[in-house]
A and B are shown apart, each in its own frame.
Chain A
Amino acid sequence: MKKEKTKLSRRDFFSAGTALAGGVAITSVLAGYDGLLFAAVTPNAKGIWYGIGIDINKCIGCGKCANACKLENNVPQAPFYFRSWVEQYTIKNDGSIVVESPNGGIDGFKQSVPDKDIFKSFFVPKMCNHCAKSPCTQVCPVGATFETEEGIVLVDEKYCIGCRYCVQACPYGCRYIHPDKGTVDKCTLCFHRLKKGLKPACFEICPTKARIFGDLNDPGSEINYFLKNHNCMVIKPNLNTGSKLFYNALNPEVR
């Protein structure tokens, strides 16, 4: 092969190289920080981009959302399959924390710690965070779980091989293996209801309006009103999952 003579001078080569390296360094540093502006991230700049809000101050822990979720989505009634559930956190006066979720809260909560020992106590409803950079979709070896354009993480039941890798990957514990189907199952934000213009079952049923959802791209939506008026936080922001489930009054003890 004939060696081609380069037209670049040594000086040009170095300045171009440094500019390139610097640009790469800066973008990679900045890219890591957009997780801190969690509420402002809108990877889908046009169209619908769903977000969820939960107001912990309003939750009365009736567990009706967990119940409605199971009935709406044919989730097995056995107490270890949940798409959506409620936990009661009790911080005791001595600093220790008790977390309970008897049957996901469906049968109601019985206060197990006497009043005099309680520093504070609150309910935390949990469900899929519909992360924008979801760890669960990234690990799927066959492409059976994915994010839609609207920012909803769905599962392709026909294509799932039941390898359980995504169950492990979800930092929020929001996936389970359906015992009859042998495939993974998770919250779809009631995709079948959304497409008919209805609210997801848990949002429809909540008696205190503690659950809010809507389009993050629409400035007038309920969820944007909620985010503007409350100081919201996601669970485990350090994992930079791009979670779109924003809690008002979230205690840092919640894992």
Chain B
Amino acid sequence: MPQHIKRLIIAFSLFLALFLVLRQVLRPESFGELGHFRAKAIPENAMRPMHYTVTDSCTKCHGGIRSEKDKGFHKNLKCEVCHGPGLKHATYAGQFKNGALPDSLKLYKPGERKDCIICHQLNAARIKIQFDTINTTMIHQIDPVKHNPGDPDTKEAFKCIDCHSPHQP
């Protein structure tokens, strides 16, 4: 075998060995088990904390409100769409007697006008005609400036919940 080929073979095998060593050191654990990624990243993604729960878990303690809501126009609304993420509340609130609920477990009570307007404000993009009875949801809309803004005499602003019950509007 010619001299230069021998040297090349030595050089190449040195490089290959170096590459294999480096690869062993640098390659993270579980990389390539399922594809070109760390297989462990999947359970890591699945371990993230939750904040929202499901509406059924509120029923255990607030069954009355649930059955009230299910009779009204807001029957499709989940409790958490108005009250915000409630997993922590649903898990720990049971330990507290009436009125003793610490602030950190309290949920938002959306009583202001803006909280209702977010869904009910008049907007051209909200479909107003029900094209077919099954599939299209119609949302009743109001003009917040005209719809009972406040007491005509005292000019005191009304809240929507002064007249509409939020759970059975």
User: Dominant SS at the B interface?
Assistant: loop
Partner of B37, one of A57, A73, A146: A146
How large, as a class, is the contact surface on chain A?
Answer: 35 or more
Distance of A21 Cα from B48 Cα, bound (Å): 50
Q: Confirm or deny: A208 has a beta carbon within 8 angstroms of a beta carbon on chain B.
A: yes
Chain B hits for A121, CB < 8 A: 123-125
A61 to B137, CA, bound (A): 12
Report if A154-B45 is in contact (Cβ < 8 Å); known contacts: A63-B118, A209-B137: yes
| Contact between B81 and A146, CB atoms less than 8 A apart | no
Q: Which of A26-34, A104-112, A163-171 contacts B (4 or more CB under 8 A)?
A: A104-112
Q: A72-B51, A115-B124 are in contact. Are A60 and B119 (CB under 8 A)?
A: yes
Binds B, one of A39-47, A190-198, A214-222, A239-247: A190-198
Does the CB pair A209–B51 fall under 8 Å?
A: no
Produce 1/0 per residue, A177-194, CB < 8 A to B: 000000000001001110
B41 CB, nearest partner CB in chain A, Å: 4
Chain A residues with CB below 8 A from B125, complex form: 61, 88-90, 109, 111, 121-123
Neighbouring B residues of A199 by C-beta, 8 Å? 54
Instruction: Find B28's partner among A61, A71, A88, A159 (CB 8 Å cutoff).
Output: A159
CB-based contact A156/B81 at 8 Å = no
Chain B residue nearest to A114 (CB atoms) is B124
Residues of A within 8 A of B131 (CB): 57
Chain B residue with Cβ nearest A210: B137
With CB as the reference atom, state the residue of chain A lying closest to B74: A207
Report if B1 contacts A (CB, 8 A).
no
